[in-house]
Amino acid sequence: MRFRAQYYDTDVGRWRPVPGKGTSPFFRAGSARFRTSQRGYSVKFNPTLQPSSFRLRGMVDFQYREKRRDGRVRVARRFTRVTTGGRRPARADPRGYSRGSAR
């Protein structure tokens, strides 16, 4: 899986990648044999950038990989998910707050 942070560019009306380390490398999140697995990636933002308010969202790129008989690994399936609200976060400020994008 790989995490990507994006901001909404109001000048052109579209989402753009956060510059710098806004995209993680792909890393192993566990075996598909298990029902759930959790991973995370932290992105730092430069608060001195203009404008002083941003609309942010996160995306996750998934890749299911499988080993071939000859030992090589191939990507068997890939898809992307965008953050959504309505989750029950373990920590939030204010308590229990959850949105798909943030300002």
Structural domains in the chain (count): 1
pLDDT of residue 102: 62
pLDDT of residue 69: 92
pLDDT of residue 103: 58
90: domain range? 2-102
Token code pair at residue 43: 């992105």
6 near 16, Cβ under 8 Å?
yes
User: What tens-digit pLDDT sequence spans the chain (103 residues)?
Assistant: 899 989 888 889 999 998 888 889 888 877 767 666 677 777 776 665 566 667 888 899 988 888 899 999 899 899 999 988 776 666 666 776 666 666 5
Eight-state DSSP code of residue 28 = -
Token code pair at residue 77: 């399936």
Eight-state DSSP code of residue 24 = P
pLDDT of residue 54: 74
Q: Which of 65, 47, 58, 62 is nearest to 87 (CA)?
A: 58
